[in-house]
């Protein structure tokens, strides 16, 4: 190899964080800034509610601000709905349901196909908006969030005229008005997961996005108008958590779908209990990513890194507990540390950024306090020496070793870029530790042995288990949890069922 040239970076090698000139002098990697342009999207100074196909102010004209997590600067003023606005939105959805619910499936499908296509056409705008409002790296909103959101509309458009075939002899009928409340970590994608199956099944919708990330939902309102969706089929209301509660508690709502924290999920469960509303809850997780000693080493390293640092770890199914077989634990952890030192943390709008900004200061505080708890409880902390931007809410990629199952970092959902490493000797021990959590959303298994994958999958109490990969999503595949991770499935044919009234 020519002096001064770094080793090839690719499969089977690890990018060094610096390389030598040949005279022993270390030269750190430097990346020229590669910012995406914010000019592709025009952000209005003020946004209103989207009810009955119209932009309307909140009934008391109240508003709040949404901020850019990377700069802490306000992006726009957002209307703060009142309970009177919740009533208006549910009324608009009920009115629209009378004709939308009666439309033949093939007609509904045309609108869904149109929305899917417009999402693709406006993908750059949506990706930039999602990154500015939420702090996630532009390469993730561009390559994951937006294409997947569009894929959900394509997929469910295909079901709209085939419900009779999917459920033969069971007379599938829409439920009516769906109330949907979503979190800030995948704002557009969660909207697509909720709205696409609801509309395909013939329901109308009132959706409340998270207060920290309302902008892509409000751009989606514009897309509904562009697609000439009949007024009131989709309504978007913005406002705090108690507006979410008022929405799901509204007596004229037939179906409630929530994605968010387990604590709020419980509250919604209580509000809906005793009514005949359908309910699905997608809540938190504490997934185990299990690496056996025969696993493809470098792919497993990449899978573990992607599993916990994708979207800053603010992912309900993040692989936040690494269970690595004791016989390879030392080399595996050494390589992970090396790999962590090559992760680029910083401006989410830079196309080279791997880990962007934490969505909001409360979440940053929670992550930092759990990191402190990890140290206080005796785990060993490793963070690469990367520089964090002076402004904005950022955390270094964090790895804890010497973790025991009783520690808070091993039990609680951090929802941040923090990986806890535990070890195991036998598959039984791995299963025991992986299932030792109140959650049950996802898990990962890394091994060359197909039979071991099948045996592990059948014993892991998790809604989704990835084998030799992690964090892969597809609209055809159902997603959802066990235990405190909630119930009900989104995606696939399973994702249509909660939006349908079917003969037993």
- Residues lying near ligand NAP in the complex (CB under 6 A) are found at 181-185, 208, 210-212, 240-241, 244-245, 248, 259-261, 264, 267-268, 282-285, 316, 413, 415, 441, 486
> Does position 314 bind Mg ion by CB under 5 A?
no
In the list Mg ion, ligand NAP, none, the entry touching 66 (Cβ below 5 to 8 angstroms by class) is Mg ion
Q: Which residue has the tokens 């009666």?
A: 102
In the list ligand NAP, Mg ion, none, the entry touching 264 (Cβ below 5 to 8 angstroms by class) is ligand NAP
Report how far Cα 4 is from the mean position of its chain's Cα atoms.
41
In the list ligand NAP, Mg ion, none, the entry touching 140 (Cβ below 5 to 8 angstroms by class) is none
Least distance from Mg ion to the Cβ atom of residue 258, Å = 20
Least distance from Mg ion to the Cβ atom of residue 423, Å = 39
User: What residues does 442 pair with on adjacent strands?
Assistant: 464
In the list Mg ion, ligand NAP, none, the entry touching 261 (Cβ below 5 to 8 angstroms by class) is ligand NAP
Which strands, in side-by-side order, build the sheet including 63-67?
46-47, 74-79, 63-67
d(CA 329, CA 135): 33
**Radius of gyration for the chain, computed over Cα atoms and rounded to the nearest angstrom:** 23
Cβ atoms within 10 A of the Cβ of 294, count?
Answer: 14
Report how far Cα 192 is from the mean position of its chain's Cα atoms.
11
d(CA 437, CA 439): 5
Choose the binding region for Mg ion from 58-66, 107-115, 155-163, 188-196 (rule: CB under 5 A): 58-66
Q: Locate 384 and state its tokens.
A: 């690469």
Q: What are phi and psi of 83, to 5 degrees?
A: -65, -25
Compare residues 153 and 193 and give the one whose CB is closer to ligand NAP.
193
Least distance from ligand NAP to the Cβ atom of residue 208, Å = 6
> Does position 66 bind Mg ion by CB under 5 A?
yes
> Does position 360 bind Mg ion by CB under 5 A?
no
Compare residues 261 and 275 and give the one whose CB is closer to ligand NAP.
261
Size of the chain in residues: 504
Contact present, 343 and 384 (Cβ < 8 Å): yes
Compare residues 163 and 371 and give the one whose CB is closer to ligand NAP.
371
- Residues 31 to 50: which contact Mg ion by CB under 5 A? none
- Is residue 387 part of the annotated active site? The answer reads no
Least distance from ligand NAP to the Cβ atom of residue 408, Å = 15
Least distance from ligand NAP to the Cβ atom of residue 58, Å = 14
Q: How far is CA 184 from CA 124, 127, 135, 191, 279, in A?
A: 19, 14, 10, 11, 20
Cβ atoms within 10 A of the Cβ of 25, count?
Answer: 9
**Short-list 142, 149, 154, 229, CA closest to 182:** 149
Compare residues 172 and 244 and give the one whose CB is closer to ligand NAP.
244
In the list Mg ion, ligand NAP, none, the entry touching 133 (Cβ below 5 to 8 angstroms by class) is Mg ion
Half-sphere exposure of residue 43, counting CA atoms within 13 Å on the CB side?
23
Sign of CA dihedral 398, 400, 405, 409: negative
Compare residues 78 and 200 and give the one whose CB is closer to Mg ion.
78
Least distance from ligand NAP to the Cβ atom of residue 282, Å = 3
d(CA 399, CA 383): 6
Compare residues 268 and 301 and give the one whose CB is closer to ligand NAP.
268
In the list Mg ion, ligand NAP, none, the entry touching 413 (Cβ below 5 to 8 angstroms by class) is ligand NAP
Residue 86 DSSP code: H
In the list Mg ion, ligand NAP, none, the entry touching 321 (Cβ below 5 to 8 angstroms by class) is none
d(CA 23, CA 354): 31
- Residues 209 to 228: which contact Mg ion by CB under 5 A? 212
Least distance from Mg ion to the Cβ atom of residue 125, Å = 16
Contact present, 172 and 200 (Cβ < 8 Å): no
In the list Mg ion, ligand NAP, none, the entry touching 267 (Cβ below 5 to 8 angstroms by class) is ligand NAP
- Is residue 282 part of the annotated active site? The answer reads yes
Compare residues 217 and 291 and give the one whose CB is closer to ligand NAP.
217
Q: Which of 91, 130, 140, 282 is catalytic?
A: 282
Burial class (CB in 10 A: 0-12, 13-18, 19+), 362: exposed
- Residues 193 to 212: which contact Mg ion by CB under 5 A? 212
- Residues 123 to 142: which contact Mg ion by CB under 5 A? 133
Least distance from ligand NAP to the Cβ atom of residue 345, Å = 21
Buried b (16+ CB within 10 A) or exposed e, 128-158: bbbbbbbbbbbbbbbebbbbbbbbbbbbbbb
Least distance from Mg ion to the Cβ atom of residue 80, Å = 15
d(CA 152, CA 224): 15
In the list ligand NAP, Mg ion, none, the entry touching 370 (Cβ below 5 to 8 angstroms by class) is none
Compare residues 248 and 364 and give the one whose CB is closer to ligand NAP.
248
Compare residues 144 and 295 and give the one whose CB is closer to ligand NAP.
144
Q: Which of 36, 130, 314, 316 is catalytic?
A: 316
**Short-list 296, 354, 319, CA closest to 17:** 354
Catalytic residues: 282, 316
Residues that bind Mg ion (CB under 5 A): 66-67, 133, 212
């Amino acid at each position: 190899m020519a002096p001064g040239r770094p080793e090839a970076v690719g499969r089977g090698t690890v990018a060094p964080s610096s390389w030598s000139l040949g005279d022993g002098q270390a030269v750190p990697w430097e990346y020229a800034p590669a910012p995406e342009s914010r000019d592709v999207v025009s952000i209005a100074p003020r946004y209103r509610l989207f009810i009955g196909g119209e932009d309307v102010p909140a009934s008391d004209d109240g508003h709040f601000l949404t901020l850019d997590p990377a700069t802490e600067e306000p992006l726009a003023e957002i209307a703060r709905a009142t309970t009177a606005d919740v009533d208006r939105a549910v009324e608009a959805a009920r009115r629209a349901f009378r004709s939308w619910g009666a439309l033949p499936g093939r007609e509904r499908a045309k609108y869904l196909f149109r929305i899917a296509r417009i999402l693709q056409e406006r993908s750059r705008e949506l990706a930039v908006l999602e990154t500015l409002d939420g702090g996630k790296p532009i390469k993730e909103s561009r390559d994951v969030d937006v294409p997947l959101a569009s894929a959900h509309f394509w997929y469910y458009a295909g079901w709209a005229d085939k419900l009779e075939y999917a459920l033969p002899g069971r007379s599938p009928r829409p439920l009516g008005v769906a109330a949907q409340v979503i979190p800030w970590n995948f704002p557009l994608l969660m909207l697509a997961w909720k709205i696409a199956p609801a509309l395909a099944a013939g329901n109308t919708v009132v959706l409340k996005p998270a207060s920290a990330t309302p902008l892509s939902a409000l751009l989606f309102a514009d897309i509904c108008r562009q697609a000439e969706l009949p007024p009131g089929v989709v309504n978007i209301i913005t406002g705090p958590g108690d507006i979410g509660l008022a929405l799901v508690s509204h007596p004229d709502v037939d179906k409630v779908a929530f994605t968010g924290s387990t604590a709020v999920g419980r509250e919604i469960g209580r509000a809906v209990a005793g009514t005949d509303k359908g309910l699905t809850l997608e809540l938190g997780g504490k997934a185990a990513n299990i690496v056996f000693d025969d696993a493809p080493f470098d792919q497993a390293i990449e899978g573990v890194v992607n599993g916990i640092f994708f979207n800053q770890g603010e992912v309900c199914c993040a692989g936040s507990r690494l269970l690595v077989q004791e016989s390879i634990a030392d080399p595996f952890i050494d390589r992970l540390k090396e790999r962590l030192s090559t992760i680029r943390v910083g401006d989410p709008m830079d196309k080279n950024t791997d880990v962007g900004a934490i969505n909001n200061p409360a979440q940053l505080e929670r992550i930092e306090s759990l990191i402190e708890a990890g140290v206080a409880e005796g785990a060993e902390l490793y963070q690469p020496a990367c520089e964090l931007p002076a402004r904005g809410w950022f955390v270094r990629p964090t790895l804890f070793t010497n973790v025991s199952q009783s520690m808070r970092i091993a039990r609680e959902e951090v929802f941040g870029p923090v990986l806890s490493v535990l070890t195991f000797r036998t598959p039984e021990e791995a299963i025991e530790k992986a299932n030792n959590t109140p959650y049950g959303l996802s898990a990962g298994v890394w091994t060359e042995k197909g039979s071991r994958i099948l045996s592990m999958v059948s014993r892991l109490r998790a809604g989704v288990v990835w084998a030799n990969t992690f964090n892969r999503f597809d609209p055809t595949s159902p997603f959802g949890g066990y235990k405190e991770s909630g119930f009900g499935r989104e995606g696939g044919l399973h994702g249509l069922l909660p939006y349908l009234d079917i003969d037993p």
